[in-house]
Structure 1
């Protein structure tokens, strides 16, 4: 296992190092037990300026549906921590969980046409 260690040479990076357990308030698992690595999430319209940089990175990656495993891979974060961070963002209303197939179809006429077709069968 490798650890990120600041050796004091790069002052710009020094301000961005936040231990991961601080970001998740020491939590080791998500409160939502339905979250797994394949769970799809998407960002909701919200002001993210008050979030820590690490949380803003997650929200920005979720402009379209993306799995928790993909988020962890893109951001080079441990998957357990990524899952807890996603859970925190869901609780705070920055992310929504589901899948692209669960998006609502807003065209009522289309649904009525499909229903009429099924009734004719």
Structure 2
């Protein structure tokens, strides 16, 4: 029986090198209690070269508005860990939180027309 030594070149063969709980310092929940799976985040302009690859993957996925649940699905990460990792990136200023609607002002006249219509009901 031969035993081949792993030389570190093929991550798919060797599996995950850093357990996810190490990346989040053992945290099991985000510090920001307002985060939920529908929370929308977006990447802020920042140098991500010092981030761990797992965190960099999240920032790269957030070039446009995306929910925490979508991030977890795209990156095949457990949702609890994804939420904590997003929380870390929010704390460090790599991500912004909110919604696309908060960032873009709609046509004020259209909104006033809709409001007037609702008030007439």
* TM-score of the alignment, normalized to the shorter chain, above 0.5: yes
Deviates more, 1:8-17 or 1:71-80: 8-17
**How many residues matched?**
107
Provide the C-alpha distance between the structure 1 equivalents of 2:64 and 2:40, rounded to a whole number of angstroms: 10
TM-score between the two structures when normalised by the length of structure 1: 0.78
Residue 17 of structure 1, CA deviation: 1.7
Unaligned runs of 5+ in 2: 117-121
**Match in the other structure for 1:53:** 53
| Alignment deviations for residues 12-58 of structure 1 (CA, whole Å, 9 cap, x no partner) | 21596211011001100000000000000000000000000000000
Q: Is 2:4 aligned against 1:11?
A: no
CA RMSD of aligned residues (A): 2.5
Over 3 Å counting, the alpha-carbon distance change for 1:39 and 1:10 in structure 2 is farther
| Alignment deviations for residues 58-101 of structure 1 (CA, whole Å, 9 cap, x no partner) | 00000000000000000000000000000000000000111111
Q: Please say which structure displays the higher CA radius of gyration.
A: 2
TM-score between the two structures when normalised by the length of structure 2: 0.78
Provide the C-alpha distance between the structure 2 equivalents of 1:93 and 1:74, rounded to a whole number of angstroms: 22
